[in-house]
Amino acid sequence: MAKTGTWVTIILVLLVLAIAASLFLRLRPAGGTIAEIYVDGRLERRVDLSGVTVPTRFTVETERGVNVILCEPGRIRVESADCPDKVCVDFGWLQDSAAPIVCLPHRLVIKLTGDAPIDAEVG
Amino acid sequence: MGIKRLARDAVLTAAALTIFIVELQLPELVPIPGVKLGLANIVTVTALFTLGAPDALAILLCRILLGSLFAGNLMALLYSLSGGLLSFAVLLLMRKLLTKKQLWVASVFAAMAHNLGQIAAAILVTSTPSLLVYLPVLTVSGIVTGLFTGLTAQYAVGRLKNVLKK
């Protein structure tokens, strides 16, 4: 049986590592203004947020439900959704962050990339 | 399964379900999928350390199944199951390594495993490997919430051991 102190040390080391990694990921910019919307892992839509001049709204509908997505210059969010937990709506604006917006019930992911917009469409 | 055992496990399942439903009513702390207190796991840990693996697993599975039914979120079943089963496996492993006073340690690692299992399921379901960026945040939340549920369970085991074992 290991001493309690050993366990506390292991947990503390893990905690510090995890906090450092979260801060690193939070501070690291996404490095792009292309918003990609995936459903079930398939690319559903690409929006070049730097090309958005007026607030634009569109819906992504799947057999699981509906997410209403709002684009503004440089940022994007899920405005409303009929999923049970509303985590995607509460996330708020996605803007220069490596962490994607996720709606797990609807299997919808929105993330920013800096890839060259080959087939970018606005709105 | 004797009637006494059935009744006892059913009461514990009901307790876990009640805690689970009440926790759902609490406002979200942070808008990150998977971050939650996981208070119902107090019952899982308590059951495992007083009644043993088969009873605890039965209580856990019934709670997950009925919980997602009652919450009207059957789509979350997959994530809850993968997280729940992985964390249960970790609890089983840790049980052999710990003394009675270190019970909370098992809960901390189980909470981390729970979040890892959930992320793995989410990555598979959405085919989005970049969801891995949530792992550090969820590890931090797992350590904090696991510590809380673990200490609570440790006290509960101390108080309930004789009552539940009868």
Same domain, A35 and A23: no
Same domain, A24 and A67: no
For residue B46, the number of C-alpha atoms closer than 13 Å in the C-beta half-sphere is 27
Query: How close A34 gets to chain B, by Cα (Å)?
Result: 16
Mean pLDDT of A41-56: 90
* Nearest one of A48, A80, A49 to A66, comparing CA atoms: A80
Same domain, A22 and A79: no
Same domain, A19 and A56: no
The answer to whether position A38 is within a domain reads yes
Least confident of A46-60, A80-94, A106-120, B93-107: A106-120
The answer to whether position A59 is within a domain reads yes
Asked whether the predicted pLDDT for residue A118 surpasses 60, the reply is no
Q: Which residue among B128, B135, B140 sits closest to A38, beta carbon to beta carbon?
A: B128
B71: its two tokens: 């919450």
Task: Note the pLDDT of residue A123.
Answer: 45
Inter-chain contact B127–A100, Cβ cutoff 8 Å? no
The residues facing A39 across adjacent strands are A42, A108
Same domain, A24 and A77: no
Instruction: Give the DSSP H/E element, type plus range, for residue A109.
Output: strand A108-113
Which comes out higher in pLDDT, residue A63 or B53?
Answer: B53
Same domain, A37 and A9: no
Task: Note the pLDDT of residue A115.
Answer: 60
Same domain, A42 and A6: no
Place of tokens 């503004």: A72
| Percent share of chain A, pLDDT over 90 | 50
| Percent share of chain A, pLDDT over 70 | 90
End-to-end CA distance of chain A: 61
Which comes out higher in pLDDT, residue B33 or B149?
Answer: B149
| Helices first, then strands: H and E counts in chain B | 6, 0
Asked whether the predicted pLDDT for residue A40 surpasses 60, the reply is yes
Q: What b/e readout covers B86-107, taking b as 16+ CB neighbours within 10 angstroms?
A: bbbebbeebeeebeeebbbbbb
B4: its two tokens: 């006494």
Please report the beta strands in A10-95, taking only residues with DSSP state E, as ranges in sequence order: 34-39, 42-48, 56-61, 66-72, 75-81
Q: From CA B15, how far away is CA A64, in angstroms rounded?
A: 31
Residue A77 pLDDT class (50, 70, 90 cuts) = very high
The answer to whether position A120 is within a domain reads no
Task: Note the pLDDT of residue B63.
Answer: 96
Inter-chain contact A84–B126, Cβ cutoff 8 Å? no
Task: Note the pLDDT of residue B129.
Answer: 86
Same domain, A50 and A86: yes
Inter-chain contact B76–A92, Cβ cutoff 8 Å? no
Asked whether the predicted pLDDT for residue B136 surpasses 50, the reply is yes
Q: From CA A24, how far away is CA B102, in angstroms rounded?
A: 32
Residues 7-36 of B with CB under 8 A from A: 28, 31-33
Inter-chain contact B75–A105, Cβ cutoff 8 Å? yes
For residue A35, the number of C-alpha atoms closer than 13 Å in the C-beta half-sphere is 29
Q: Which residue among B76, B105, B130 sits closest to A100, beta carbon to beta carbon?
A: B130
ipTM: 0.85
Q: What b/e readout covers B26-43, taking b as 16+ CB neighbours within 10 angstroms?
A: eeeeebbbbbbbbbbbbb
Mean pLDDT of B34-43: 91
Same domain, A54 and A106: yes
Interface probe for A, chosen from B104, B140, B141 (most Cβ of A below 10 Å), is: B140
The answer to whether position A119 is within a domain reads no
Same domain, A4 and A36: no
Backbone dihedral region of A83: left (phi > 0), alpha (psi from -120 to 50 degrees) or beta? beta
Domains contained in chain B, number:
1
Same domain, A86 and A109: yes
The answer to whether position A121 is within a domain reads no
Task: Note the pLDDT of residue B73.
Answer: 76
Average pLDDT, chain A: 86
Query: At A88, which CATH number?
Result: 2.60.320.10
Task: Note the pLDDT of residue A8.
Answer: 94
Alpha-carbon torsion, ordered B115, B116, B117, B123, to 10 deg: 110
Q: What residues make up the domain containing B77?
A: 3-165
Instruction: Give the DSSP H/E element, type plus range, for residue B56.
Output: helix B53-70
Please spell the DSSP secondary structure of B64-82, one letter per residue: HHHHHHHTT-GGGHHHHHH
Same domain, A37 and A95: yes
Domains contained in chain A, number:
2
Asked whether the predicted pLDDT for residue A120 surpasses 70, the reply is no
B77 close to A (CB below 8 A): no
Residue A15 pLDDT class (50, 70, 90 cuts) = very high
Q: Which residue among B32, B73, B127 sits closest to A41, beta carbon to beta carbon?
A: B127
Q: What residues make up the domain containing A73?
A: 31-113
Residue B6 pLDDT class (50, 70, 90 cuts) = very high
Query: How close B128 gets to chain A, by Cα (Å)?
Result: 6
Mean pLDDT of B41-52: 95
Average pLDDT, chain B: 91
B134 close to A (CB below 8 A): yes
Inter-chain contact A11–B126, Cβ cutoff 8 Å? no
Which comes out higher in pLDDT, residue B31 or B136?
Answer: B136
Query: At B159, which CATH number?
Result: 1.10.1760.20
pLDDT in tens, B143-165: 999 999 999 999 999 998 888 87
